[in-house]
């Protein structure tokens, strides 16, 4: 099978090829498939090349969710007859129905499982973020410099309130520095906006540091009810402070949980696993 992924390259940034389309391209290649990338700022094919090369492929995977005209100079998917998959990631904030039906997509993967029922698209399945064996696999052990940190968008609101209340340090980093910064933390805090499965869960566990996150039954179910993962979850705000204090004091227990989860996610939740899931669903 020949596969074409379509996404934008984040040109000029340290994580320029960490976007979903690029990670899937690397994963398919690692599995032995021919896979290329097309999109704005790509060093392989631009988005303008897509209508001329589409018939060379057996499957096209579109992971761009926000194709602004200022960036995407071509976006006419209904003209492409090659089987097409669209990955709808942000259905909690954006309605992709017009994009899906207007583009005549054959398959839709949803980053939020409940959207399958909401959209009722016939050929659809859940698909979550994974860990990158190209960018994130790092077995090094770095000295712990921070107690509890939050990496990511904080702005105003809930996350900012929790960080200030419980003395959680907010840090910003990208690319390999993002991974290294997580490794340097004794506890990496996560507060998801909704009870969906976001990338940060896997990023933290995949760094080898201990994760403290809000309770998420969907994530537990997806991870086979993993009891180490359950130990990392809080149910109330008060429990955040309690668990931070407990796991900072009980270092051996904290690090043992983090190591088991590290081994678990790198075994079951890589981008290669997500690539296999795509193939399983489109080949049905």
Distance CA 209, CA 147 (A): 11
Residues in Cβ contact with 31 at an 8 Å cutoff, skipping those fewer than 6 apart: 272, 275, 276
pLDDT digits (tens, 9 = 90+) for 130-150: 999 999 998 888 999 999 999
pLDDT digits (tens, 9 = 90+) for 35-52: 999 999 999 999 999 999
Check: CATH 3.40.50.2000 for 146-268? yes
Distance CA 30, CA 26 (A): 6
* Residue 194 reports pLDDT greater than 80: no
Q: How confident is the model at residue 265 (pLDDT cuts 50, 70, 90)?
A: very high
Q: What is the mean pLDDT of residues 3-14?
A: 96
Residue entry with tokens 């201990």 = 210
pLDDT at site 141: 87
pLDDT at site 2: 98
pLDDT at site 156: 55
Sign of the alpha-carbon dihedral angle for 20, 125, 77, 102 = negative
Distance CA 172, CA 15 (A): 13
Listed residue (88, 57, 62) closest to 76, CA to CA: 62
User: pTM of the full predicted structure?
Assistant: 0.92
pLDDT digits (tens, 9 = 90+) for 118-127: 999 999 999 9
Strand duo 124-126 + 84-88: pairing: unpaired
pLDDT at site 132: 96
* Residue 155 reports pLDDT greater than 70: no
**Fold assignment, 2-130+270-282:** Rossmann fold (3.40.50)
Joined together, the tokens standing for residue 116 give 């399958």
pLDDT at site 158: 85
Q: What is the mean pLDDT of residues 24-41?
A: 98
pLDDT digits (tens, 9 = 90+) for 76-118: 999 999 999 999 999 988 999 999 999 999 999 999 999 999 9
Residue 59's Cβ-count burial label (10 Å; 0-12, 13-18, 19+) is buried
Rg of the chain in Å (alpha carbons): 20
Distance CA 78, CA 251 (A): 55
Q: How confident is the model at residue 196 (pLDDT cuts 50, 70, 90)?
A: confident
- Residue percentage of the chain with pLDDT more than 90: 89
pLDDT digits (tens, 9 = 90+) for 205-249: 999 999 999 999 999 999 999 999 999 999 999 999 999 999 999
| HEC sequence for 203-222 | HHHHHCCEEEEECCHHHHHH
Domain boundaries, the chain: 2-130+270-282, 146-268
* Residue 175 reports pLDDT greater than 60: yes
Q: Are 77 and 101 in contact (CB under 8 A)?
A: no
* Identical fold between 2-130+270-282 and 146-268: yes
Q: Are 108 and 100 in contact (CB under 8 A)?
A: yes
* Residue 27 reports pLDDT greater than 70: yes
């Amino acid at each position: 099978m020949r596969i074409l992924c379509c996404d934008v390259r984040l040109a000029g940034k340290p994580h320029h090829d960490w976007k979903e389309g690029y990670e899937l391209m690397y994963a398919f290649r690692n599995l032995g498939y021919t896979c290329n990338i097309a999109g704005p700022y790509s060093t392989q094919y631009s988005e303008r090349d897509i209508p001329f090369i589409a018939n060379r492929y057996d499957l096209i995977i579109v992971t761009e969710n926000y194709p602004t005209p200022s960036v995407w100079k071509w976006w006419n998917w209904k003209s492409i007859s090659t089987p097409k998959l669209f990955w709808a990631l942000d259905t909690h904030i954006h309605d992709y129905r017009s994009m899906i039906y207007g583009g005549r997509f054959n398959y839709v993967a949803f980053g939020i499982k409940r959207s399958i029922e909401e959209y009722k698209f016939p050929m659809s399945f859940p698909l979550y973020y994974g860990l990158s064996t190209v960018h994130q696999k790092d077995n090094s052990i770095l000295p712990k410099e921070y107690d509890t940190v939050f990496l990511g968008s904080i702005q105003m609101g809930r996350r900012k309130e929790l960080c200030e209340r419980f003395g959680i340090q907010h840090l910003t980093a990208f690319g390999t520095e993002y991974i290294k910064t997580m490794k340097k933390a004794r506890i990496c805090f996560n507060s998801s906006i909704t009870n969906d499965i976001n990338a940060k869960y896997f990023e933290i566990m995949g760094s080898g540091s201990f994760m403290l996150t809000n309770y998420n039954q969907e994530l537990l179910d997806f991870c086979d009810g993993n009891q180490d993962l359950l130990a990392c979850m809080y149910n109330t705000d008060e429990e955040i402070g309690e668990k931070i204090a407990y796991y900072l004091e009980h270092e051996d227990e904290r690090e043992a949980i983090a190591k088991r989860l590290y081994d678990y996610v790198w075994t079951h939740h890589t981008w290669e696993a997500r690539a296999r899931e795509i193939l399983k669903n489109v080949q049905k």
